[in-house]
Chains A and B, each alone.
Chain A
């Protein structure tokens, strides 16, 4: 007989933030069916309320840690931090989408459910303590995004982006499950702490199962590398980001990345940190990640230069930023800096979330109803017409570049610091150099807006309130974490997942 779990072992309390969100999404799904057409605008606000409730619960219960669902779900400081990032992303994603969807005739409530479900996937990903949960959460994260990419449905490019994203995404999840299967085969468990213990034993005992673990780890890195758009698994990114509706791109560029990195950190830092072979000092996956990080930074930044479409440019930029975060993940493979690497990656995710959402928010503001108006040339003379928006955009661009007093700088600084502490000096140098290359195209945007004449044909006479609110959140976040970096530092230093696992074993 299968025994029933008791309420204690379910420990639902610690899953409350994620649970609230998912339940909210389901309730919303039902409510929406009964809303008359002219009340449809309520859906978006209800979704926002759901996200804020979940965010509130998260912030109120940051100290409530523990395992749920028989250890498959874990709530710790890592989870809480990631929840905050993801929920802010979702909230801003809803705010910047509301008006856009209405004016582009896509005001279909599915956007909000899909967004909420995807957000739920990201939150589960942050809390995953079992490879099964990682897989399911990854799919919960991805499948709504596939649909959302094709949200502007009759439109060729939107459909194409959805199909490309879907086919490649499904392809990569094949790799993920294969990797998980191999690790399960080698360790006999999918529970991450158990995997860690088993891997330690395998490595110490010199068992040949280590090959299985290595192969499995590699396959998982492939799949998660795909999710976070690391080179050479990045190729879907520009196409999908360009083709998808802009709010979707904004949400996806931050959310999917956060989810992917959460999974990567959980698997590699909690499950496989002791995979140290051949008398090396760091985990075996460090070299692979470092190489990918280097490739990603180089290719992302260089390719972005040639882009004339802002969305596509930001897509390559987002690839480049994945490279920086990967650098931190690679650093986390060195036992001494494991926690620091994790903190750096999370810090970068937080700052990147604000900045990137803001940048996409501005694109939404200038985009015309038919999806045009997002080329670099359309920004000529933007500062004359919309000085405040142009200023904000410049601020976001500087943050993406990593100029001090912006959040982007803090994130980069954390990452480089972790990397150097881990002894990855070459990688850090590559990071700095490619940042300079990045400055080239980010600054070009500023030049277009402020130094060149032209009359951008703006879609909207005045900025809608919701979009303005979203931009304010993004701008404030970028500013606050840039000016007061210790705020973020306080938030991240509590995150000690690596030690917890090592100590627990």
Chain B
């Protein structure tokens, strides 16, 4: 059986990749995708913990499903926002949105 820590390492690595993506990507959609990656990294953790530690209760799985649902809701809102902005500025580069500062 694959030990638990391997799942945790994969989860942490994915999460780190997601964080890096948020910091490194300029395209708002890519940032959004990186955020989804972070959430899925967490799902790996949740499901692994559930499977290895508390398989008799459902809370870990249930939580993972909630995370899916919320991620979908976020993506829906986020993409709508990005589309609205794209229509206006013909750009989805987050860096271009720089009117508000200081």
Contact = CB atoms under 8 A, between A and B. Distances in A.
A159 interface: yes
B51 to A, nearest CB: 11
A243 B31 CA distance: 21
A174 B77 contact: no
Contacts of B100: 157, 160-161, 164, 238-240, 242-243
Contacts of A156: 88-89, 99
Contact of A163 (B53, B60, B63, B94): B94
A184 interface: yes
A166 B94 CA distance: 12
Contacts of B46: 177, 181, 184
A163 B28 contact: yes
Interface in B36-55: 38-39, 41-42, 45-46, 49, 53-54
A408 interface: no
Q: Which 7 A-B pairs have the closest CB atoms?
A: A174-B38, A239-B100, A185-B49, A181-B45, A177-B42, A160-B97, A170-B35
Interface residues of B, number: 44
8 contacts: A139-B74, A150-B84, A160-B99, A178-B38, A178-B41, A184-B60, A190-B59, A243-B99
Contacts of A243: 99-100
A171 B23 CA distance: 10
B94 A167 contact: yes
B13 interface: no
A115 to B, nearest CB: 15
Nearest to A130: B59
B39 A174 contact: yes
B89 to A, nearest CB: 8
Q: How large is the interface on A (under 10, 10 to 19, 20 to 34, 35 or more residues)?
A: 35 or more
Given A154-B88, A157-B100, A177 B81 contact: no
A376 B59 CA distance: 52
Given A159-B81, A178-B41, A181-B42, A135 B59 contact: no
Contact of A178 (B45, B54, B88, B89): B45
Interface in B1-55: 8, 11, 15, 18-19, 22, 28, 31-32, 35, 38-39, 41-42, 45-46, 49, 53-54
A150 B82 CA distance: 11
Chain A's interface: helix, strand, loop or mixed, by majority? helix
B92 to A, nearest CB: 9
Contact of B59 (A132, A174, A178): A132
Contacts of B88: 154, 156, 159
A136 to B, nearest CB: 6
Given A132-B59, A163-B82, 20 more contacts: A131-B63, A139-B70, A143-B77, A150-B84, A153-B84, A154-B88, A159-B84, A160-B100, A163-B85, A163-B94, A166-B77, A167-B32, A170-B74, A173-B74, A178-B42, A178-B45, A181-B49, A182-B45, A188-B54, A240-B100
B59 A167 contact: no
A177 B77 contact: no
A174 B42 contact: yes
A170 B59 contact: no
A374 interface: no
A139 B66 CA distance: 11
